[in-house]
Structure 1
Amino acid sequence: MAWILGAKHSNIETDSDLQSFLKLEDTFEFQDDESNHFIVDEAITAVYSKLNATTQKWSFSGGLRYEYSKTIGTASETADSRSREISKLFPNASIIPLLN
């Protein structure tokens, strides 16, 4: 039998700078109304626990993961910012027959 515990934390920053151009004969004209600069900051923290057990004929596994994330997105042109927090539990279980 084995019991596994763990934790993980990640900080992710995504910088999306979409620039749109219109082709005019030999030049390209910047299209401000179709362009967007958007920055997303996300922090994710997770903890998990898992139990594994094996008999002569079966393998059993069960666990639980808790995840919390906070995401903030900002459009630089308008300084408009949105925030979202999510917390979820992710249970899992399996029973596998062992072949001889």
Structure 2
Amino acid sequence: MQGNYGKLLKLLLPVIIIENFELTSYKTTSEVMHLYTDKGATLALVNSNPWPPSSTGLKGTNDWTQLSLNFNSGTTGIITISSHLGYTNTDSSGTAYFDNLTIVPQ
């Protein structure tokens, strides 16, 4: 993905309720800048929370780097995961690619 905000990936997945999981993926970035926080390119668990839990962000130019996010699936039995470049349409720029997305129970 290039330019301002977009989801590289957004998946709606059925999961076991009230279970702990680890989400991992590899990302590579080029000239990623984030204006307001340290986010940049991240993995996130998208839910009704206005600030969904997310991994550490990658900013700048990085070779393939593994990102991870630990979370609890909650009570709905469905989660939405995404691979972000920023949070809004004006807060990030650059290029990010992802590969090897995995989700495993803990």
TM-score by length of 2: 0.26
Question: Relative contact order, CA 8 A, sep 6+: which one is greater?
Answer: 2
Name which one, 1 or 2, has greater alpha-carbon Rg: 1
Higher strand share: 1
